[in-house]
Structure 1
């Protein structure tokens, strides 16, 4: 399944005084996966686009922290 949230396992030193974080996550922007902007993309209404930060729906990605759950009210 495709997701913009990626994860990796960093190096853990045996001499690290803190408990290690075994898996770290990061989020990539959706525009990195579109090679070119196709014509006639669906758009948000202008007042909604200002709130979301983009005019085109395929480029919108609400950020969720790693411990947050997605809610149904976000259109996802």
Structure 2
């Protein structure tokens, strides 16, 4: 997974960074780290009359509002042998 250096990143909830690695560190470098930011960080406030999931679906998804739903997708899945 390589992040393009020359392109300006577009809006995304998935962020990347590369931790500092010294030649004196006892462990091998981790490489590119990936994390996800939740949707409520980008809303500012909760608007009135948001669309709602049905109660059964809301229990499965963990939120009542589709605008605040963020399914987790593991970026490291498939990397381990």
Deviations 1:32-70 (A, max 9, x none): 1110111111111111001101000010001011134xx
More helix by share: 1
> Please, which runs of 5 or more residues in structure 2 have no aligned partner?
1-9
Moved over 3 A (4+): none
> Please, which runs of 5 or more residues in structure 1 have no aligned partner?
69-76
Distance in 1, Cα, partners of 2:33 & 2:15: 8
Corresponding residue to 1:28 among 17, 37, 41: 37
Distance in 2, Cα, partners of 1:53 & 1:13: 41
TM-score by length of 2: 0.75
C-alpha RMSD of matched pairs (Å): 1.6
